[in-house]
């Protein structure tokens, strides 16, 4: 009997007992980002740090839109994805295009020459292509909320500086070697084998993902009507391979080789998905023939 | 059983520590050295002792579309009536108040402002983005029209501000942002303000407050502080305490902090009592009623 009491006391006093679900921080708050000298890390602020004022309300609204776009930005979202479907951990995870690294780096050069991307226009592009919906106007409440959320996540991050973990950096890019993922020639058949082995559990045999009851998806659809359109960045092989290698399977990023990521990307990109919204009907018809 | 539970408990404790090891070697701030840049630009102490923030120099801009946008933003900033004629309303430029091309600490520098937005503003009781703040500057301080959010002028000014703010921590009040603090409990006197204005300000701004035009007469060398070409009654500078903070920190030009709080308040009230364009938020009648009310 005394032995049981001692065991209970040990369990209560040990640090692991402090990690009960009540005290544990929310999952999105745990991402740490190395910035500086060894031991120094950038930690995006925790949810409990959102101030209780009008700006805090806007930040909370922005977070809701970010993680549940289908329900909270209904008039602009087109498919079943949320922002957080790709920007993992509510926009905090390094190498999944985190918001804390993106916010301070805009306005900057876009992909095309002579085009300057502001943060707002980038958000509009996300809605237009990745969410296959409508671009929210610059002064819409959805846009204001998303900008406020991104700026809040970037609290204390250096403005305009390149931070490790920004964008879709592949592990090679993190070491400072190359900035862009080398696009290897992928084989769709090898990719299918790999998909069945590693991805099918969450994303399903038809790439349909796992839906939530209230709308949106627990695991996002990878192709088909409910997925991102052919005009989005992840519909190009090189960024998609970089994203897959850095982040997938969920929780085991960097476990795929570059060749495996390229194979997977090739398999995903031969699947049907919504057409590029910039194309007209005639062009779409021609493209499918 | 006991040992298994203890083992998993220990595992739970050690896991977060293990995930802290990241394979990164380069610190991001190393890409942008923040100290020891020789130059003539203003510097401002950051929160860490020994570190100084220096806004970048114009020569560092690349020769691409983005660099051109930033240069356009600077051109608009220092010569607003000529470079943004469709939106500017009076004779002022942005740099008439934001001294040193928006770099001077204590004169609302752009590098202190940019990363603070979106933020709550009491002026319209709402959260404003930086672009909306620029719109308010055009509407009130420049007594003109609000540029649309997607206009070239707003984009250029935003790019210029973000470029100036490179390296400052986002969302954190940097020392030197905004204006210098002034006391609140001060009773200003317009009569004393007239005397101080005549002694210290009239050399540049003129006894009639109309400033000094440049030799070709196209723009102002020293900005008008009242009258049709000055800021209107909706501007932040029309508030006595705001104007006093600005005057104390920056005026007379090059000799900031030489006036005490009382003198700064007096001059600010003296400027407020002068004639200037009406507040665009109010109608004509409310502006007349201001006259009848006697203030």
For residue B169, give the 3-state DSSP assignment: strand
pTM: 0.79
Please state the ipTM of this predicted complex: 0.76
Q: Residue A192's pLDDT is what?
A: 94
| Residues of chain A numbered 129-168 and touching chain B (CB < 8 Å) | 138-139, 144, 147-148, 151-152, 154-165
pLDDT for A3 equals 59
Categorize the per-residue pLDDT at B143 as very low, low, confident or very high, splitting at 50, 70 and 90: very high
Residue B136 Cα, gap to closest chain A Cα (Å)? 14
**B112-151 residues touching A, CB cutoff 8 A:** 114-115, 117-120, 125-127, 129, 131-132, 149-150
Pairing between β-strand A33-34 and β-strand B44-45 as defined by DSSP bridges: unpaired
If you count residue pairs, one on A and one on B, with CB atoms under 8 Å apart, how many are there? Answer: 146
- Residues (pLDDT < 70) of chain A are 1-41, 169-184, 288-289
Give residue B37's pLDDT. 29
pLDDT at B176: 83
With DSSP H G I counted as helix, E B as strand and the rest as coil, what are the percentages for chain B, rounded to 5?
A: 45, 5, 50
pLDDT at A14: 41
pLDDT given for residue A183 in this prediction: 54
Q: What is the pLDDT of residue B177?
A: 87
Strands (E), chain B: 44-45, 52-53, 119-121, 126-128, 212-213, 220-222
B163 close contact with A: CB closer than 8 A = yes
Residue B15's pLDDT is: 43
The phi and psi torsions of B238 (rounded to 5 degrees) equal -75, -20
Q: Measure Cα distances from B59 to B36, B63, B69, B100, B153 in Å.
A: 17, 10, 14, 16, 22
Residue B75 contacts residue B221 (beta carbons within 8 Å): no
Q: Which of B52, B32, B28 is nearest to B41 (CA)?
A: B52
Q: Does A46 touch chain B (CB under 8 A)?
A: no
Task: Name every residue whose Cβ is closer than 8 Å to that of residue B15 and which is 6 or more positions away in sequence.
Answer: none
- For chain B positions 210-239, those within 8 Å of chain A (CB to CB) are none
Looking at chain B from residue 45 to 104, which residues have their Cβ under 8 Å from any Cβ of chain A?
64-66, 69
* Cis preceding linkage at A106, omega within 30: no
Give residue-wise pLDDT tens across range A153-197.
998 888 888 777 788 865 444 443 334 445 567 888 999 999 999
Q: How many C-beta atoms surround the C-beta of residue B128 within 10 A?
A: 19
Query: A55, B118: Cβ pair inside 8 Å?
Result: yes
Residues of B in contact with A37 (CB under 8 A): 27
CA distance A253 to B51: 36
Chain A residues with CB under 8 Å of B24 CB are 34, 164-165, 174-175
Give me the pLDDT at residue A212, please. 84
B29 touches A at CB < 8 Å: yes
SS3 state at A116: strand
Whether B23 has a pLDDT exceeding 80, the answer reads: no
B135 by Cβ neighbours in 10 Å (0-12 / 13-18 / 19+) ranks as: buried
Angle (CA) B155 B158 B159, round 5°: 85
CB A140 within 8 A of CB A134: no
pLDDT in tens, B209-225: 999 988 887 889 899 99
The SS3 assignment for A53 reads coil
Contacts of range A278-287, beta carbons closer than 8 Å, 24 or more positions apart:
A278/A231, A279/A231
Residue B244 contacts residue B149 (beta carbons within 8 Å): no
Contact B176, B112 (CB under 8 A): yes
Phi-psi region of B232 (alpha: psi -120 to 50; beta: other; left: phi over 0): beta
Tally Cβ neighbours within 10 Å of residue B206.
15
* Chain A (58-77) residues lying within 8 Å, Cβ to Cβ, of chain B: 58
Distance, CA of B108 to chain centre: 3
Nearest to B48 by CA among A30, A40, A48, A166: A40
Residues composing chain A: 289
E-only strand ranges, chain A? 33-34, 41-42, 108-109, 116-117, 210-211, 217-219
- Residue-averaged pLDDT of chain B: 82
- Model pLDDT, residue B59: 85
Residues of A with Cβ-Cβ distance to B20 under 8 angstroms: 32, 41
A184: DSSP letter: P
- Inter-chain CB proximity A30 and B119 less than 8 Å: no
pLDDT the model gives residue B291: 61
Region B120-130: what's the mean pLDDT?
92
Q: Which of B94, B214, B116 is nearest to B170 (CA)?
A: B116
* Confidence category of residue B27, pLDDT binned at 50, 70, 90: very low
On whether any CB of chain A is under 8 Å from the CB of B167, the answer is yes
Instruction: Give per-residue burial for B42-64: e unless 16+ CB within 10 Å, then b.
Output: bbbebeeeeeebbbbeeeebeee
Averaged pLDDT, B33-62? 55
Mean pLDDT, rounded, for B142-157? 94
With a cut of 90, say whether residue B285 has pLDDT above it.
no
A92 vs B16: CA distance, rounded Å: 17
In chain A, positions 77-116, which contact chain B (CB-CB < 8 Å)?
Answer: 103-104, 106-109, 113-116
């Amino acid at each position: 009997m005394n032995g049981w009491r001692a065991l209970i006391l040990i369990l209560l006093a040990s640090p692991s007992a402090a990690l009960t679900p009540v005290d544990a921080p929310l999952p999105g708050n745990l991402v740490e980002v190395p910035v500086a000298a060894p031991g120094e890390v950038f930690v995006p602020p925790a949810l409990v740090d959102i101030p209780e004022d009008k700006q805090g309300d806007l930040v909370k609204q922005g977070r809701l839109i970010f993680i549940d776009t289908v329900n909270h930005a209904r008039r602009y979202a087109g498919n079943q994805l949320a922002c957080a479907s790709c920007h993992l951990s509510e926009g905090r995870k390094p190498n999944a295009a985190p918001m804390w690294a993106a916010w301070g780096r805009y306005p900057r050069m876009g992909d095309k020459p002579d085009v300057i991307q502001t943060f707002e226009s980038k958000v509009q592009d996300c809605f237009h292509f990745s969410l296959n919906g409508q671009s929210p106007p610059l002064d819409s409440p959805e846009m204001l909320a998303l900008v406020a959320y991104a700026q809040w996540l970037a609290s204390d991050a250096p403005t305009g500086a390149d931070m490790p973990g920004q964008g879709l950096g592949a592990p090679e890019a993190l070491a400072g070697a190359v900035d862009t993922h080398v696009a290897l020639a992928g084989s769709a058949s090898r990719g299918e084998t790999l998909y069945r082995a590693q991805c099918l559990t969450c994303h399903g045999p038809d790439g349909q993902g796992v839906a939530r009851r209230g709308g949106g998806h627990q695991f996002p659809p990878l192709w088909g009507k409910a997925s991102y359109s052919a005009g989005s960045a992840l519909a190009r092989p090189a960024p998609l391979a970089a994203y897959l290698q850095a982040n997938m399977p969920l929780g085991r990023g960097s476990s795929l080789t570059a060749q495996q990521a390229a194979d997977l990307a090739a398999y995903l990109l031969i699947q049907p998905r919504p057409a590029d919204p910039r194309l007209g009907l005639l062009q779409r018809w021609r493209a499918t023939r | 059983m006991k040992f298994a539970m203890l083992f998993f408990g220990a595992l739970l404790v050690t896991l977060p520590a293990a995930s802290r090891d990241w394979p990164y070697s380069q610190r991001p701030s190393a890409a942008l050295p923040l100290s020891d840049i020789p130059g003539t630009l203003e510097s401002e102490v950051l929160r860490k002792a020994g570190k100084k923030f220096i806004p970048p120099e114009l020569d560092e801009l690349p020769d691409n579309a983005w660099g051109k946008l930033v240069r356009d933003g600077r051109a608009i900033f220092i010569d607003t009536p000529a470079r943004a004629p469709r939106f500017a309303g009076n004779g002022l430029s942005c740099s008439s108040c934001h001294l040193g091309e928006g770099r001077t600490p204590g004169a609302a520098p752009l590098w202190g402002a940019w990363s603070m937005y979106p933020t709550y503003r009491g002026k319209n009781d709402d959260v404003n983005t930086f672009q909306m703040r620029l719109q308010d500057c055009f509407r009130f301080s420049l007594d003109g029209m609000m540029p649309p959010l997607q206009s070239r002028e707003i984009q250029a000014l935003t790019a210029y501000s973000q470029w100036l703010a490179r390296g400052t921590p986002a969302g954190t009040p940097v020392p030197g942002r905004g204006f210098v603090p002034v006391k609140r409990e001060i009773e200003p006197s317009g009569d004393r303000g007239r005397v101080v204005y005549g002694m210290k300000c009239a050399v540049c701004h003129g006894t009639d407050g109309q400033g000094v035009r440049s030799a070709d007469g196209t723009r102002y060398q020293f900005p008008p502080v009242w009258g049709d070409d000055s800021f209107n009654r909706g501007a932040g500078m029309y508030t006595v305490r705001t104007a006093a903070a600005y005057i104390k920190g920056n005026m007379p030009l090059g000799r900031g902090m030489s006036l005490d709080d009382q003198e700064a308040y007096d001059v600010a009230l003296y400027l407020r009592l002068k004639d200037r364009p009406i507040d665009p938020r109010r109608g004509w009648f409310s502006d007349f009623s201001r006259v009848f009310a006697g203030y």
